[in-house]
Structure 1
């Protein structure tokens, strides 16, 4: 039978505004072993709700707690005060992750990020090497590629069609226009054109799993190659055939199995004191 999962939602007060967060944990906490929870970093248009049932399935597959949160400006979190700065990836590691970990009393964690969330997860892993036990990136960008810009430009045009922006309203409310602009205007701007993951991440010291769809419309296979080269610890690169930009939805079972096997070897449980 599938493992039962408990869900708990919390609001986190920060100096910058409230963040919405949610935790999925295996039912029955009388375990002899504790494991570092998995922290999810969503993509440029994402939020907790848009992970859909993936966090629950991830919790069941790994036996670990899974934490997800809406970044400031997204989902149910408070609006972002102004335009998104070009250093927003670094900000997530320096300003917001510590508040999330402190609120949920997390000492060690596994970072899992999708798309730009993958760059954020990698930045967090590099910044907190003693706390981050493992890293998983999915469809992450390592630099601003022509394919990335072309895909975003096409998406920007598609959102001009009647009813398209309403899809974002369903998840982000009145913040939807800001969410779309934060993605498209930032990535298409001249100020962001020179960004690379290497500029903020010198090396990754924890075991690394790089997942990427073979048909990703926002990034070629140069991205997983460059991300894997950042690892000073063991790294595995898995290219998922037939997948585009959202493997955790398009090939969920394959993603779950890859993550489960990665974590089994990367960070086994440790005894409860």
Structure 2
């Protein structure tokens, strides 16, 4: 394994301070990989995957907590439809300016995959590759049902404490931002189609065949509209980088090296 140096970074924005962490392997080369977390996620919930990804690819890896999540400041706004698209010119743009990120690779998990797609579309001249993992490309019945089940689960006594471990007193806001959007009538017609058609870089869409929040129709649609590749992982659910981390690292590493 390469020697990895890591550092915490704080980025001031007009709405609050963002927390980020970067991992730099010795002799890093190539565009850095920027990670976009899921609806309930944060830097800490990537666990050791960013360091492993940096070691596997020889690239710097940068992960950040969106405003309202993890160690970033509370978000004073209520997230509404459009928040996925707005990330490209929101927190990501602030992070990119602060860290001096030029060309980059976008890697997003779940709703972070949708954000990565929009980032790749809006920053097409600098996005060298796009990797989505368990991304939702549209509001599918399976996705809505999975979110509804999760909402009921978090209503049980003590369950919100699971989120407080990572988000502190922001936990209720984090949960609401997820369930209220996906279960709202306004979200039923949401898709990534427009953004996908604007992506110009190579695309790899990873998806667990047993993903409880989305069928294989999602990676198929991502690949079809971008001319990219999709890969279904057998016996895998919604979090491939945790459930089949070695497989994800191997696939992503080989795929990126083939494009160097």
User: Which position in structure 1 is the counterpart of 2:159?
Assistant: 164
CA distance in 2, matches of 1:96, 1:172: 17
What is the deviation of 1:199?
Answer: 3.6
Contact 1:115 1:139 in 2 (8 A): yes
Return the alpha-carbon distance in structure 2 between the equivalents of residues 94 and 104 of structure 1.
15
Q: TM-score, normalised by structure 1?
A: 0.93
1:106 aligned counterpart, secondary structure = coil
Deviations along 1:232-266, one digit per CA (max 9) or x if unpaired, are 4xx22110000000000000010001110111122
Whether 1:139 aligns to 2:134 is yes
Tell me the residue number matched to 1:4.
Answer: 3
1:89 Cα deviation from its structure 2 partner: 0.8
Distance 2:142 2:189 in 1: 15
Count the aligned residue pairs. 260
Q: C-alpha offsets along residues 65-115 of structure 1, whole Å, 9 cap, x if unaligned?
A: 000000011001111113112110111001221211111111100000000
Match of 1:185 in 2: 180
**What is the rounded CA distance, in whole Å, between the counterparts of 1:201 and 1:61 in structure 2?**
27
Gaps of 5+ in 2: none
Structure 1 equivalent of residue 250 of structure 2: 257
Q: Residues 141-199 of structure 1, C-alpha deviation per residue, up to 9 Å, x if partnerless?
A: 00001000100000000111121100100000000000000000110001111110014
Equivalent residue, structure 1, for 2:239: 246
- Local SS of the residue matching 2:125: coil
- Cα distance in 2 between the residues matched to 1:181 and 1:61: 36
Divergent runs of 4+, >2 A:
199-203
* CA RMSD in angstroms, aligned pairs only: 1.1
Matched ranges for 1:193-204 at <5 A:
193-204=188-199
1:48/1:88 CA distance change after superposition, 3 Å? same
| Structure 1, gaps ≥5 residues long | 269-273
**TM-score relative to the length of structure 2:** 0.97
Does structure 2 conserve the Cα–Cα contact (< 8 Å) formed by 1:203 and 1:230? no
Deviations 1:206-246 (A, max 9, x none): 111110000000000110111111214xx221100000000
